[in-house]
Each structure stands twice: as C-alpha cells, then as structure tokens.
Structure 1
Amino acid sequence: MTSPTGSTAVDPAARVRQPLVFGGIPEAEGFARVPITPRDRVHFRVDRELPLEEFRAALPDRVAVSFDSGEGLYRVDGDPGQGSVLADWVRAWCAGRGITTVGLRAETDVRRRAPRDLPPSFLDELCRHYAPVSLKRLQRNMSTIRMHLPDSDDLTQQVYEWILKAVGQFDESKSVPFGAFLATQLSKWVHDLGRAAHGRTAADTENKQQKAVAAFLAEHQRRPSEKELAAYMGQSVATLRRNSQTVATLNGLRNLQSLDGAPDAAEILIPDSHEAPDEIMGEAEQTLLSHALTAACAPDPTARREQRAGQPNVLGWATWYLTTWGGLTKTQLSADLGTSVRNMNVHADRVERALKAQLAELVD
C-alpha cells in the first residue's frame, strides 16, 4: 500500500519493538518465572571481617546471607516475621566469637529476588546485553565515577554488580520494562558511591551545591558570588560557608594521592637536631606524624581489593585528622559526614592499630 505522496506506508505493527530474548526466554517471562518476593532482612556491619562460610553454615534453614564488599555491609534474609528473631540470633552469634556488630537493624517486608534463582543462560545473556547499554547511559556521570573508580576494569565490574542489584530489586508486576528501571537506578547508585566513601551528608551537600552552581551558570552565564549562591539555594551565607567547608574537606580527602600510592616508599629527610632550630624540628615531627597517619590509612597490599582492608580508610583518616588537628569533636564530625560515631570509631580503631606499628618503626 502506498501513501498519497507515493511513498510506501509502514505497517504500525512493524514499528513495535520485539521483546528481548535471553537464553531462549523472553525477558518478561524470565522475570515472571522467579517473581520478586517479600522477606525480612537484617543489615549490619562488623569491626572485623566475618568468617562467611562458617556464618553461612550456622544460619537457620531458609535463611540466606549476602555481603556487599563495597559498603562493608552484611544482609541476612529470612521469611516474613523473622526479622527481630534473626537480629537477636546474629547479635548472639557474633558476640560469641568476640565480633562487634555495628548499626545492626531489622527491616520488614523487603521485596527482593535472588539473581542466582534465574536460569543461568538467561541471567548471563541479560548481563552481557545491559552492560554496554549501562556504560553508555553512565557517560553523563563519568566525571563523578572516575573519582571513585579510576580503573576501567573496576568500572566494568561495578556495572555488572549494579545490573545484578537491579535484577534483585526489579518488580515485574509494575509494568515498567527492566531497561527503564535499570536506567533510573544507575544515577542514584553513582551518587551512592560518594555517600559510601565519604558519608551521606557530605556527599549530598556537594551534589546540591554543584547542581545550584550549574543552574546559576545556565541562567546567568557566570559563576555566582557567595551571597548569590546562598540566596539561590535558600540558605544563609553562614550556612553556605559551613557547607562549603564540608565540601572542601571532602575534596581534600579525594586528593590524598598517597592513600592510593605507597607512602612507605617516600623518603623523608630530617635535619640533624643538633644543627636545626627548634621550630624546624617541630615541623619535621609534624611531617613524620602526618606521614605515619596517612600510611596507617593506606590500603593493605596483602588484602584483596574487595576487602575493606584493601581500600583506603578515608573515614578513619578524617576522624583522626579532624578531631586531632581540625578542632572538631566526634559528634560534630558525625553530623558533618552523616555517619554514626560508632561507625567512625570502628574505622578509627583500624587506624590506631596501624598507627602504633608506624610510630614504633619511626622510634626504632
């Protein structure tokens, strides 16, 4: 059939996108085979890594555990109604082995599916399809991502983890395609990278300021003054200055190159104390102490990257530095970084153990 202009008309049915098929199973059917189900979940962190296999073997029947190495967060899932019982069980099991739990809480009616329950070929092809799609979608967030994942292999691995996370949260009953759901979640999870590394409040403050500056630039074609930015954000100048200090601290922590390098490889030359004036020696002592603190927060080269010890202890560094030299109390710092004092103490204790070894070497 031709149109009045002589061109061939296109059948509207031919323009409808055919459903995606993974492992011989249409996408919608694959999710329908393993529907999302409600459960009770216990979230917690610990002061040292759990013996996961031993912990998993001791769990009651029909209870599963997962570990988010990026956030250092354990999740125990059981049937609806088991939340408080599981929380008490986890607390008692850890206490019996001298392990301290941090931020343990029970959450009811969590709707999830386990990706491993999907047909393996279906899940494999779905991940292979959505990985390049996700990377293209994340191009607009790449400047933020590179602050946390500078290595391309790490970024690819993180994208696959996000796809699996989306598979676990996708509710097939809400008539939203999986691809659309994944796209909306990706931007949120990029923002969570900063929250996990530097605290929720600091990351949110930085994000709000960046958005306000970008909006002002688009409207006026110039950067705002301090007073203009405060008015644009509906804040007082004093509040803006306080928040700007939080953002400056966050950026300073990101720029600590020695945390990702090898601080012990750097040689520090110290003048002879008999020839140098007291003030120079005082500066040298401060340099040594700063060097030791930074080295104590560096990744453990013997640990795997996915382990907590294999990552820079930024929160521990901030806790020590800002409470020792920055004039802040732990309560004030906790409010600035949006994390609990208990969580700060866990990271600071790791620093203390490493710092004692660093200072012992300096004394020798």
Structure 2
Amino acid sequence: MPDRIPSPTPPTPDDRIRSREPLVFGGLPEAEGWALAPITPRDRVHFRVDRELPLDEFRRVLPDGVTVSYDQGDGLYRVDGACGSAAVLADWVKAWCTGQGITTVGLRAETGVRRRAPRDLPPEFLADLCRHYGPVSLKRLQRNMSTIRLHLPDPDDLGQQVFEWVLKAVAQYDETKSVPFGAFLATQLSKWVHDLGRNAHGRTAADTEHKQQKAIAAFMAEYQRRPSEKELAAYMGQSVATLRRNSQTVATLNGLRNLQSLDGAPDATEILLPDSSEAPDEIMGEAEQTLLSHALTAACAPDPAARPDQRAGQPNVLGWATWYLTTWGGQTKTQLSSDLNTSVRNMNVYADRVEKALKHRLAELAE
C-alpha cells in the first residue's frame, strides 16, 4: 500500500504577509521608487526669525550647493549644505540676517542629517503614494482624533495636514533600514500629533501637561485611584514645589483652551463706569484697562456664528497669549517666541485674527 501523501500545510498569516505583492505607485514597485531618490546625508542649520525672510533674495545669495526650505506652519527655516559645513553655514546665516536687521531665534547646526527631497521622486510615483497613504494615515489617526480636533477642527485643514505629514515622512524615510514605509509612517504620526499642541501652546506647557497626564494614568492603572499631590510628585520623581509649579502651567493651558467661558460682559451685562470728572485718573485707567482686557478675551473666544468644525469656532489660544503677554506681560514677540518655542510668524497669524475681531469690539465700546 503506498504511503499516504500528506496534505499541504495551510499558509499562516505571517506567510500571507510575506508573500503580499509589492505596492506599485506610478507604474513602479515601491522599492524601485525609493532607489531612484535615495536618502542622503547633509549638514543642516535650523532657525527662526523675528520677521519673515525675503526668501527669493536669500536664495540668490546662498553659497553654491546650499539650499533652503521653509516650513510655514512651524515658521522654521532649514539651510542644507555638504557634510562638514554646519558651523560655517551657521555663522553665514547669522551674519547675513544681522546685516538685514533680522534677529535669528533658536539657531542651531546639525551634522549628518539624512534626508531626501520629495521632489526628487518621480511625480507619478509620489502622487500615487500620497493617494494611497493619505487615507491610510487618516484611519490610523482615529485613535488620536480627540486631540487632533482641538487644533484642526476643520476637516479640510485635517486632510491637508495629513498629506503634509506623508510628505514629511517621505523626506525622512530611510529605505536602507529594512522597515516598510507604512510602518515608519505609522510610528511617526502619533509623534506629530503631539507636536500640534507644542506649536499651539508652546513646547514647555504641552510637554508638562503630557508628562503629568501619563503619570496620572500610570498611577491609576497601578492603584485604581487618582494620586494625591504628594504621591504624584513622588511618582514623577519631583518635589511637591516643582509639581505645584508645573500644575499651574497646566492649569493655565487648560484655562486658555476654555476662553469661551470667559466671554460675557459688554454684550450681556451693563458695566457702570465712574464719572471721569469725579473719579481719580487711577480708577479711570483701571476701568479702561479692564474694558480693553475683556475686549481682547472676547475677541479670542469662539465665534458663536461659526460651526464647531471651523477654525473660527474654536478659541484662539495662541492669539490671546501673544496679545496679552506683549501688552501686559512686558514681553516682546521674540522673547515670547522663544518661551513658547513657536515662530513669530505663527504667532502673527493667530494675532492677526485677534486684531480683526478686537477692532470690531473696540468700535462697539466707543459708540
């Protein structure tokens, strides 16, 4: 009797993953597309400025082989040159900006940065890759959507941001590491979501809040209750005084996010002012300052006529901080930019929205 022929072993999920056909973008398998524009090392100088650079003029005077890119969202300039040129480029950038009356903020040189320019990829390959990974990224980000909507309530803004993140991943993806691009993109997305809070509220405040929330969550998972102030300080390896100071930063951040709860008075409540002929100048000065402060807060509150998914339907936190701290806090925009780790340009974008609303509020008060 012949031996029984064993039935073939069904493929495991891992086998099916390994045997998956490669993705094809613009008629090219994904691996071939990356090979056409390999990632390369360079030296890079990062910096921000107190006012926008004249980019066309700046590019014309750059040394041969040096390029500059500008991240409008972060207000960050990046000057790239050959390996070994970081220190020279940093000195050159600082000298050129000084000659133009421009102040650099947070200038730093970095060596051996590995990047690719997305434009070096075949256009059809890049377009198909974005069309594929854009929806994939949106699905991956569903778990972070509550955080994202605090900063990007408009669906169109969210879609644009996702494609910007895909292009950012394209620039940073190192095909020599044997990690699929999709896996690399997924790991980066959650980091970039956290950066949204850093850009809107400042790196220090956002990171402090993130660390505290992680520590509280870890403590509750371990002990099934919220920690006391002393327990949380010990859990985070901090003194109670440091924890209290950081908690005040977090409380301020949360208060700024809820500007709509501060919007009230001139439209809803009658404010009685003393007769200027009988009241001392100090009282009138305080009354005028109070009205101006309220008008500023009201100008930063959400527009009740806007939909919640629109940018105008969200509190303008960075605009409020910019106006308040430069008006009453005694800080310049350059100092504030350094403290909040955001660009002056980014602050100006939010402050301009405040200015338009504030002019309308002050006109109403003057009538």
Evaluate the alpha carbon distance shift between residue 58 and residue 360 of structure 1 in structure 2; reply closer, same or farther with a 3 A threshold: farther
The answer as to whether partners of 1:213 and 1:223 remain within 8 angstroms in 2 is yes
Aligned sequence identity (%): 69
The question of 1:92 aligning with 2:70 is answered: no
Residue 320 (structure 1) shift: 3.8
- Deviations 1:152-200 (Å, cap 9, x if unpaired)? 1111111111111111111111111111111111111111112222222
Tell me whether 134-143 or 154-163 shows the greater mean CA deviation: 134-143
1:77 to 77, 80, 88: 80
Partner amino acid, structure 1, of 2:133: Y
Per-residue deviation, 1:41 = 1.0
Corresponding residue for 2:181?
178
SS at match of 1:153: helix
Instruction: Provide the rounded CA distance (Å) in 2 between the counterparts of 1:254 and 1:311.
Output: 6
* Residue-by-residue CA offset, 1:116-136 (whole Å, 9 max, x unaligned): 000111111111111111111
Q: Do structure 1's residue 274 and structure 2's residue 275 form an aligned pair?
A: yes
**Residues in 1 aligned to 2:54 and 2:124: alpha-carbon distance in whole angstroms:** 31
The correspondence of residues 342-361 of structure 1 with structure 2, limited to 5 A, is: none
Structure 1 residue 297: Cα displacement: 7.9
**Residues 201, 317 of structure 2: 8 Å contact kept:** no
Which residue among 146, 153, 156 is the counterpart of 2:149? 146
Aligned length: 335
Counterpart selection for 2:319 from 306, 309, 313? 313
Distance 1:295 1:55 in 2: 40
- CA deviation vs aligned residue, 1:288-338 (integer Å, no higher than 9, x gap): 23145558989xxxxxx9xxxx994355246347846xxxx99xx98x956
Q: Identify the structure with bigger relative contact order (alpha carbons < 8 Å, sequence gap 6+).
A: 2
Please provide the CA RMSD for this pair. Answer: 4.2
Say if 2:227 is the partner of 1:224.
Answer: yes
Structure 1 pair 227–258 and aligned structure 2 pair: CA distance change class (3 A)? closer
In structure 2, the residue matched to 1:204 is 207
2:246 matched residue in structure 1: 243
* Cα deviation, residue 68, structure 1: 1.0
Cα 1:88–1:211 shift into 2, 3 Å: same
Matches of 1:183 and 1:277, distance apart in 2: 67
One-letter amino acid matched to 1:10 = P
C-alpha deviation, 1:211, in angstroms: 1.2
- Report if the CA contact (8 A) 1:258-1:294 is conserved: no
Which stretch shows the higher mean deviation, 112-121 or 68-77?
A: 68-77
Name the SS for the 2:69 alignment partner: strand
The question of 1:48 aligning with 2:51 is answered yes
Question: 97-106 or 162-171, which moves further after superposition?
Answer: 97-106
Change (3 A) 1:297 1:91: farther
Change (3 A) 1:7 1:215: farther
Between the aligned partners of 2:11 and 2:299, the Cα distance in structure 1 is: 67
> Is residue 2:237 matched to residue 1:234?
yes
TM-score (norm 1): 0.76
- Opposite residue 71 of structure 1, the aligned amino acid is D
Aligned partners of 1:140 and 1:277: how far apart in 2? 61
Counterpart CA distance in 2 for 1:193 and 1:57 is 33
Under a length normalisation based on structure 2, what TM-score does the superposition of the two structures give? 0.76
Range with greater deviation from structure 2 (189-198 or 213-222): 213-222
Aligned to 1:301: none
Moved more, 41-50 or 86-95: 86-95
Q: SS in structure 1 opposite 2:46?
A: strand
Q: Does 1:33 align with 2:36?
A: yes
Q: Which one-letter code corresponds to 2:10 in the other structure? A: V
Structure 1, gaps ≥5 residues long: 299-304
Q: Distance in 1 between matches of 2:140 and 2:220?
A: 24
- Describe the SS at the equivalent of 2:150: helix
Q: CA deviation digits over 1:128-156, x for unaligned, max 9?
A: 11111111111221222122111111111
SS of equivalent to 2:275: coil
Q: For 1:290-305, what aligned pairs fall within 5 Å after superposition?
A: 290-291=293-294, 293-294=296-297
Q: Does the C-alpha gap of structure 1 residues 321 and 216 become closer, same or farther in structure 2, counting only changes over 3 Å?
A: farther
Match of 1:135 in 2: 138
Runs of 5+ in structure 2 lacking a partner? Answer: 302-310
Secondary structure of the residue that 2:70 maps to in structure 1? Answer: strand
Offset at 1:224? 2.8
- Report what 1:123 is aligned to: 126
